[in-house]
Amino acid sequence: MPDALFAPSAPRLSPDAPVGRIEIRAASKPGYDVLLTPAALAFVADLERRFGWRRRYLLEKRVERQARLDAGEKPAFNPACGYARHEEWTVEPQPAALRDRRVEITGPVERKMIINALNSGAQVFMADFEDSNAPTWANVMDGQVNLRDAIRRTITHIDPISGKHYALNDKVAVLMVRPRGWHLEEKHVLIDGRPVSAALFDFGLYFFHNAHELLTRGSGPYFYLPKIEGRAEARLWNDIFLHAQDCLGMPAGTIKATVLIESILAAFEMDEILYELRCHSAGLNCGRWDYIFSFIKKFRNDPNAVLPDRAAITMDKAFLNAYSRLAVKTCHRRGAPAIGGMAAYIPVKDDPVANDRAFAQVRADKEREARNGHDGTWVAHPALVPVAREVFDDLMRTPNQIHATCHDVRVTAEDLLAIPQGPRTEAGLRQNVAVGIGYIEAWLRGQGCVPLFNLMEDAATAEISRAQVWQWLRHGARLDDGRVVDHALVERIIEEELAAWIGRVGEVALAHSRHEEAARLFSELVFQHRFAEFLTLPAYDRLMETGS
């Protein structure tokens, strides 16, 4: 029997759930009215009123946990979670559409991107409202419109410059959707005077309009769940799924969701997370970039946890390889798929040598994942789908590897917490600054993923860059040449990298760029004493200030 930690959750209705107004503080565009119907908004409001208070409570618990980590506490496997961790149980079987996920492509909910990704030859397309999407009101709502059209196969696009026409192929990838994380709010929509949870808004609007349509077309409402830090947060999603399905007359388990393990804390609760979602689980994914960011963030006060250059923190490092192997072992023991992470490399135009190097690095990364036992992997560009597919076709001859139970794998807390060694260089510091400024600038213009220096950067990779600069400053890290990373050095490099960006942009484009604003925000983030939990929180405030 389940132990006490998995007793029935709190009542689904907040004890003080008010009856009030739904207010939208944003301009409408053609097509939005089809989505923002009274019934759909009532559904979203119901989710917020029932579950929003629990989200806020769990965010408070995150703050309390961080205080303990700051005081020196280290994560550990919880021996009290007896049933979830030690007994034999499995998640519900996977639907046919999700049994073969060997290649998944991800990207924002932009119209052309959706068409290209669905046509890419990947088994799955994860449409992203989170790390690769700057959440302007237009981006969020256009994304909902685009997904609605894609599901109904009415989506088309004509490139305004080339005139090229885009439409769906007969065979397309299975669609999964990633709503925003628990920490974010959608400030354009107020429920009873309070901003709605961005996760509940994204999920609720998409599910209400598309769940039945997906089922009639042989698919289903499939999701990726980001930024979860433990079993209680997974349980909240499970309760939301149960209620949402009940509201729309669907049986429990219709929804399937893959949880991204992108927090060091979640790595210690993989069994518990799968257990909480076992009726709805579509496995786990190694969200490696946010995981590295989480490692820096959670151990920010520990001078012994200072990491090397971002470029040196690769999946062959012991702590990341352990995390990958533990995810596979945990998932397969529970009958769930374990999906590998994103290789940030993209094709390099006009440089065959660099392009060959990028493809070789992607191939090596995917071979490592397949040999570790992963059932699929992520790519960021359609041109990399054949590379990943070839690797998994060669090393995984069945639709998945769930049958490989990995009994011989042993991963300890010490393995997960091992600090990687490597260089700390001025070049690495400069790269962090350049990426931080370049990404924030694009984000402020409404672009949530952007190619920079032959890598695809999104919020997760940019978080590593700014967090690492903060960490090196906080602990006075010493570069390999002996210099200490201090305020003066970082300030000088920010000025120089801002000038470099202005030089790259050129005088004409500079008038429309936001590099100076991005450099100011980056400086605030790395110089302030208190670590900002997510760069997208202050950046979102700036979007709101500009009416975006």
Task: Give the C-alpha separation, 462 to 293, whole Å.
Answer: 9
Task: Give the C-alpha separation, 344 to 384, whole Å.
Answer: 11
Contact 117, 385 (CB under 8 A): no
Residue 29, H or E segment: none
The tokens describing 438, both together, are 């370049």
68 CB neighbour count, 10 Å cutoff:
10
Terminal CA-CA length for the chain: 50
The tokens describing 356, both together, are 């060959």
- The separation between CA 424 and the C-alpha centre of its own chain, rounded to angstroms, equals 27
Task: Give the C-alpha separation, 302 to 69, whole Å.
Answer: 9
Backbone angles phi, psi at 350, to 5 degrees: 65, 20
| Dihedral in degrees, nearest 10, Cα atoms 228, 233, 238, 242 | -130
* Tally of helices (H runs) and strands (E runs) in the chain: 20, 15
The tokens describing 72, both together, are 């020196």
**Nearby residues of 481 by Cβ (< 8 Å), 6 or more positions away:** 425, 426
**Nearby residues of 364 by Cβ (< 8 Å), 6 or more positions away:** none
| Dihedral in degrees, nearest 10, Cα atoms 443, 447, 451, 456 | 80
Q: Which residues of 29-60 are buried (b: 16+ CB within 10 A; e: fewer)?
A: eeebeebbeeebbebbbbbbbbbbbbbeebee
The tokens describing 272, both together, are 């518990």
Contact 362, 393 (CB under 8 A): no
Contact 266, 252 (CB under 8 A): no
Cα within 13 Å of Cα(261), Cβ side: 33
The residue behind tokens 């993923």 is: 449
Active site residues: 178, 458
- The separation between CA 274 and the C-alpha centre of its own chain, rounded to angstroms, equals 18
The CA-CA-CA angle for residues 54, 232, 253, to 5°, reads 95
Contact 526, 477 (CB under 8 A): no
Tell me if residue 161 falls in helix, strand or coil: coil
